[in-house]
Each structure stands twice: as C-alpha cells, then as structure tokens.
Chains A and B, each alone.
Chain A
C-alpha cells in the first residue's frame, strides 16, 4: 500500500473483498437452486418390450416425462445407419419431441408430422421438411434380449450414436 492510502480506503477495499466473495458464493447457490432435484435425476429408467410391436405402426412410451417413439420398420422402409437391429427386425428409437421447438409430432401414414411448425420426419426419424434442424434425438438405451432399457448407455446405443455423429 502506498503512503496515500488511508484507513477509510483500507476499510473500503476490505469490504469490497468480503462482498465479492459473498456475492460469488450466493450466485453459486442461486444457480444450484434452479438445478433439477436429485429425485428428478434419479427417476430415469424405463424398460420397453419390443417383441409385441407391429411393423409400420409406431408406439409411444414415456421416459423422464418425454415421449419415446419406437417404430418397427416394414420391409419396404429404407435402411438407415441409426436402425437398431434385434434379430431380423429393424427399429427406429427416438425421443418424440420435434427438434425445432419440442412439440410431439404425430404419425401420419408414413411419417411423423409436427402440427406446431410443420416439421416432418421420415421413418428413420430424419427431418425431411420444415424448420427442424436435425433428426429426432436418440435416447440412451441398452438392449436386454427383446427389450430395451431407456436411460442406460449400452454398446448398441454407442454404435448408433457414433453413426449419427458421422
């Protein structure tokens, strides 16, 4: 400190330092109050049995409050790198929220159409029309026999996720 610094300046600087530490600490606390609660984070696993699905008729399941589309593809629907292969069957698994602004698209004949802003997704969950910027998102899952457990990252999920990144 220089000679010109007097006791009042020193008190001012000290208070500023204490206030800055306290202010930063409260910001951390305030941020965390808005974080999801542990009970919300924990309630995250759902098992879906795939053997009963009819080809060409997608079903909707609920996981973490979100709709999950599972479509067993018919033979004339084209192959895609994100197809989940179980035995001879090909499945599309996707979070059923439009990647534009989150409405739930409805299945119309051979595609998912979003009523909100006109987005359309093909049976492989790829966006084919409208504002959606990317295909429907892939939920994390693992395969157990003919069923999948949503919320776990299994090897099949990792493979499809890698294929989607490419």
Chain B
C-alpha cells in the first residue's frame, strides 16, 4: 500500500523477474550482450540515486527481490514474467524454480507466470499442461524474439502458437503477456511488429493480451490494434522510467494510451530488476500531464489508482480492500475513448 496526500493506492507490479545473468550462467557472448543491454537501459533511464553497480545487477536472489519490490510496503502484489533465453544462458535467464518457490512462500505477494514457446512442439504442449497444474498458472509471458536453434523468433499467429493458445484457454491461463518492445532481433519475424497480437486477440476474445512495453517502439501500431480489440491491454514496462528522464515524452505516451485504450487497460510494471518499483510508483503518483499539453486531459487520481494496481488486480483476481476499489469507467469497448476531449484540431 502506498499513501500520499491522504490517498491510498493498491499497487500491483505486473512485470517483475528473478533473473540470473552471472558469468557462470552465460552460455555465450550474447548472454553478456543481453544483460549489458539491460544494464544500459537501467543506467540511462534511472535517477542517479537508483543506479546499481553492475555486479549487483547480474543477480539479485529472492531475499533482495522481496526487499526491493515490497520494501516500505510500496508494492502489494507482483507478477513474475520470466524470459527463457536458453540460447544465451545455461540455466535460462528467468529462474523458474527459484521464482516459483518464492511465489509459493509468499502467495499473498507474488504470482508466478511461466512461459511457453510453440517451437517446442507437442512436447512443449504436454509440458505446458503439467506446468499449469503444478504452478496454478493464471498467465504466461511470451517472448517472440527468443532464439531457438536456427530460428530467431516466432509469431503469435503461427499455427503451433494457436495450439498453445487453445491449451491456455482450456487450462484457464487467461493472461497472455507478450513482449513487444525495444531491443531485439528477429528479421522478418519482426519482434517489434504487433500485428500478430491483432490476429490472436481477434481469435481468442476470452483471453487477455497484455502487450508489454505498450508496443514501443511502435506505439501507434499498438494503439490502433488495441483500440479495435477490447481484450488488448498496455503494460508500462520500460515506458514508465521515461517519467524521470523525459517527463514530457512520458506524458505523451500516457496521453495517447488513455485516449486510445482508456483508463481500465493500462498496467503499471517496473520490469524489476531493470528498475526498482519504489521510485517509479512515487513519481507516478506525483506526475501530471504538463499544463501546456492541452491536447491531453490531466491524469486524475482515479486513473492513477487504476493504472498502479486496480487494473492488474482485476486481471489476476486479487483481493483488493473494499475501500480501495473503483468502478470501471463507462467507456466504449472499441474506438478512441475521448474523441472530443483530446483533439487539438477541435480546440
């Protein structure tokens, strides 16, 4: 729980990781390049007081994670979103068993989401069924840019991916988090391209597709798809730290998301350990759209409460204290949310 100026915020960090990028786990140069890239994100977008030494960045472990994420009671609940990256790391990047054990030890604070990869074929489908039962999965994190043998990526619209999505539907895994964001690699199997989310969201209306990093660097493609598909949600991982280095740019991102998706479909995510959530939550609560950006409505306290936790709590059936709940906004399922309020051309 975070309290500021008499307002209480129930906070859900919808995207955290327990990773191991230490040299003994790096399979090849790409393992080092990958964590170095993360560390550059961390150094580039963090306030100076929040920058970690490189050595600490390679691995945190459960105890430190609990301290960093839940310290001072800022985050009420967090969801693991692991990436496998088996071609880069001997034991994978996201630490499945360690994170799962931590979630079991702290069920009120942590939810463990797992991953799957359609290129694992029929064996992977069987494994998904076993994982879902053992881990009580409510969600998965999909990393379409992951390397796998000769392949450097896949699409949600691939036929085998549909088999896995059908299995998710059957197993009650409703929240499909898809990494669509900066870095990375595939060629024509373009990891930035969000078009495959459009296909899957249309064909699986009963699943929720959380697009991590809200489609950056192709925000406009994401917004356009999300505007047409009511089951597409924006995750703010990697977008929210701009609140410090580029607040006016962050204001524009928030303005666009509220305009196109509405206040009920945006999720706060620190992407721990890329960044620790505490300073992001504090800054977000204090944040406002600059007054001179008249093309966007100001962010109300209600919008901030929804983004910081209530929206994710709804997706994960988390028990929010009654006095902190808010009704859903009366917004259209599709189409822009504030066609009149947010248009320069109509000023």
Physical interaction between A and B: no
